[in-house]
């Protein structure tokens, strides 16, 4: 997806719903942080200065917007042109937090990506997430119906992934997730953290 189009399409949702959740999730972080699928850098303003962020983003257009957004911040942010496979090169147990917001809908294998996350986190390290997920109500059937087309149009974005079950079964010692309703077709937002 083209970065400026993504920012334009999500501007109102960011203002009304997502930005306050980003702030709540990210401001407590410190130390070495890896962000998966940093997109256009919408998380960047919410990281504290005490965090050292390595932001992974394979999409060139999204990455361009992220670089521009990071230039005006005092937090140390390194933007890397890779996807979640870059976690394989990070030594085991060396990362304080891994952040993934609105990215697990489009990774090829969410369970595999979470195993990569678990490997790099320090004991007691935190996985921070905010994802639109499969609904539990009437919207669920609509999501299943539209997902094949949605994936082709929206860069492999799946509307119907059960990320709550995937996170809870990954092997974290504790999981604290909350949810909010979203407008269709996303319908349901899941956010919170899991501790190794």
Mean pLDDT of 169-194: 97
CATH number of the domain to which 62 belongs: 3.40.50.150
> What domain range includes position 111?
3-133+161-195
Per-residue pLDDT reduced to its tens digit, 55-64: 999 999 899 9
b/e map 99-135, b = 16+ CB within 10 Å: bbbbbbbbbeebeebbebbbbbbeeebbbbbbbbbbb
| Model confidence, pTM | 0.95
Residue 145 lies in a domain: no
Residue 123 lies in a domain: yes
Residue 155 lies in a domain: no
Residue 150 lies in a domain: no
Residue 19 lies in a domain: yes
**What per-residue confidence (pLDDT) applies to 100?**
98
**Looking at the 3D structure of the chain, how many domains does it have?**
1
| Joined tokens for residue 101 | 């917001």
**What per-residue confidence (pLDDT) applies to 31?**
98
Residue 138 has pLDDT above 90, yes or no: no
Residue 66 lies in a domain: yes
């Amino acid at each position: 997806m083209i970065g400026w189009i993504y920012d334009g399409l999500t501007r109102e949702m960011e203002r009304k719903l997502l930005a306050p959740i980003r702030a709540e999730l990210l401001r407590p972080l410190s130390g070495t942080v890896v962000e998966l699928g940093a997109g256009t850098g919408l998380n960047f303003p919410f990281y504290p200065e005490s965090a050292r962020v390595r932001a992974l983003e394979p999409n060139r257009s999204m990455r361009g917007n992220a670089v521009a957004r990071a230039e005006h911040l005092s937090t140390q942010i390194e933007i890397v042109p890779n996807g979640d496979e870059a976690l394989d090169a990070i030594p085991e147990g060396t990362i304080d937090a891994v952040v993934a917001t609105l990215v697990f809908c489009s990774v090829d294998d969410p369970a595999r990506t979470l195993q990569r996350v678990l490997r790099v986190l320090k004991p007691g390290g935190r996985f921070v997430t905010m994802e639109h997920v499969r609904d539990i109500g009437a919207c669920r059937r609509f999501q299943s119906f539209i997902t094949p087309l949605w994936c082709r149009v929206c860069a492999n974005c799946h509307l119907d992934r059960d990320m709550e079950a995937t996170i809870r079964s990954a092997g974290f010692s504790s999981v604290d997730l909350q949810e909010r309703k979203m407008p269709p077709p996303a319908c349901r937002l899941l956010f919170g953290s899991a501790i190794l």
